[in-house]
Each structure stands twice: as structure tokens, then as C-alpha cells.
Amino acid sequence: MTKTSSMASDLTDKKSTQTPAPQSGAKPIWRKLWPIAILLAGLGVAWSTGVLDFLSFDTLRENRDILRDFVTSNPVSSVITFMAIYAVSVALSLPIGSLLTIAGGFMFGVWLGTAYVVIAATLGAVIVYLAARYALYDLMHAKAGNAIRKMEKGFAEDALSYLMVLRLIPIFPFWLVNLVPALLGVKIRSFVLGTIVGIIPGTFVYVSIGDGLGALFDQGKTPDLGVIFEPRILTPIIGLAVLAMLPVAYKKLRKNKNRFPSNE
């Protein structure tokens, strides 16, 4: 009886050793793409319902008294509503950031408007960052391989400086600067800090325009959205971008100096 039990135990152990443990495969691609799918669906709804046509300077002109009364009567809910609309518009990459920023200055003034816009824009940017990081990071690295790893390494070394420059100088679309850092493995802390600091100057310019929007409407005029590219405004912003790149230049200078030491 003991011998039979021993043989059965040996066979069982041998069988369990030979049987491979079940492996949990990677999630199918479609199961990881749901955050991007939600954002794209929201973008499609916004375009199809004509929301973008409704949000215009004509709408602000026609409803400016209603907006003023709403802010005065509902100081808390008006801020929450505005910031929620702004964050969602950034998350869906709607091309109305300048208009909403000017509206923020019109509704809340320069300083509070700047603060609300910066916070809401950063929140919306983080939503895009997290969605892209979850859905596309592994896919991009699997497809691009060493090429994207080299880019990731170079960008990550000075991520904060690069992000601040990309935010300060409005060369690339805001949504693109939300997406690329997520694919290059930039840490969320650097992403948030670079976004907050980098968008303050441009936000302040447009919010200041919004603060005087009522006077423009009284004159039958609308704001010039290209004001950010005027030399008197763009030059100081470029100066800030140059300052943001100084740490990068210093690191490269030190690296080259260590690589080619002086003979003295």
C-alpha cells in the first residue's frame, strides 16, 4: 500500500513538473486602446453636434451680460463649470483654447483667469498624457524599437527644459506636446511642472486680452488671436525659452569638456 502510494505520488510530481504553468498573455491591443477611443469619440461628438460653431466671439458678445451675471451670482459654480469645460476641451484636443482663455479673462479678470486657465489646461493635458501612456507606449516601443529608445533617452535627460520650450513657443499644437512626452517616457512630475510653467506667459497674454474684451465689443471689434506672434510679445517669450535651454547647453558643454580635456 505504501509502495503504491509512493509510485502514485512520484507520477503526480513528474506530471506536474512536465506540465507548463499557464502563462498570462499580454492584453490584446484593442483592450488597451479604450482611453484613446473615448477621447476620439468625444471629439467626434463635439464636431458632429456643432459645439465648435457655437463657441465663438459672436456668442460671447451676445451673452456677455448673462456670463457676467452668472459669475457674480455663482462665484464657485461658475469657476468649476469654466474649468471643467476648459479641461475637457484640452483633453479632446478641441481647437478653441485661445477663445476659452480669452473668455476666462473676460469672466474672471487677469490674475484669477490666468490661474484657472493654467490649472484647467494642465488637468486636460494630463488626461491626454495618461491616456497615451497607457494605450500607446508599449505599442510604440514594440514597433519602433531602438529608434524610439534613443529618442526617449535623449529627451528624458532634460525633459523639463525641453517641455518648457515646447510650451513657451507656440510652434507645435498643444495636443501634440501632450502626446509626445507620454510616448517618450517623460515622468508625470516633469510633464506637469513643464506644462504649468511653460503655458503661463502665453496664457497671461490671452487672458489680458479677455479682460479688455468688453471695450473691444463696444467698439465693434474682435480680438486678434495672432497677437502672440507680435515681436513685442514673442521676443520676451523666446528669451524665456532660451533661459529654459541653458541647463541643457551647460550639460552638453561639460560633457564635451570631459570628452576632450584641455592639455594644459
> What is the CB neighbour count within 10 angstroms for residue 229?
11
Q: Taking Cα atoms as reference points, which of 91, 94, 87 lies closest to residue 39?
A: 91
In the block, residue with C-alpha cell 506644462: 195
Q: Give the long-range contacts of residues 170-175, CB within 8 A, separation 24 or more.
A: 170/202, 170/228, 170/229, 173/93, 174/90, 174/93, 174/97, 174/121, 174/125, 175/90, 175/93, 175/128
**Is it the case that residue 70 has pLDDT exceeding 90?**
yes
Q: State the pLDDT confidence band at 88, using cuts at 50, 70 and 90.
A: very high
Q: Taking Cα atoms as reference points, which of 251, 244, 229 lies closest to residue 164?
A: 244
Q: Taking Cα atoms as reference points, which of 163, 151, 129 lies closest to residue 248?
A: 163
Q: What is the pLDDT of residues 216-264, one digit of tens each?
A: 888 888 888 788 888 888 888 889 888 888 877 777 777 666 665 555 4
**Is it the case that residue 95 has pLDDT exceeding 70?**
yes
Cα 176–Cα 182–Cα 183 angle in degrees, nearest 5: 90
What pLDDT is recorded for position 8? 46
Distance separating alpha carbons of residues 233 and 167, to the nearest angstrom: 15
* Highest mean pLDDT: which range of 85-89, 145-149, 160-164, 248-252: 85-89
Domain boundaries defined on the chain: 30-44+51-221+228-258
C-beta separation of 117 from 207 below 8 A: yes
Q: Which of 62-71, 87-96, 173-182, 239-248 has the lowest mean pLDDT?
A: 239-248
Q: State the pLDDT confidence band at 19, using cuts at 50, 70 and 90.
A: very low
What pLDDT is recorded for position 262? 54
C-alpha cell at 126: 494630463
Q: What is the DSSP letter of 25?
A: P
What pLDDT is recorded for position 131? 94
**Is it the case that residue 32 has pLDDT exceeding 70?**
yes
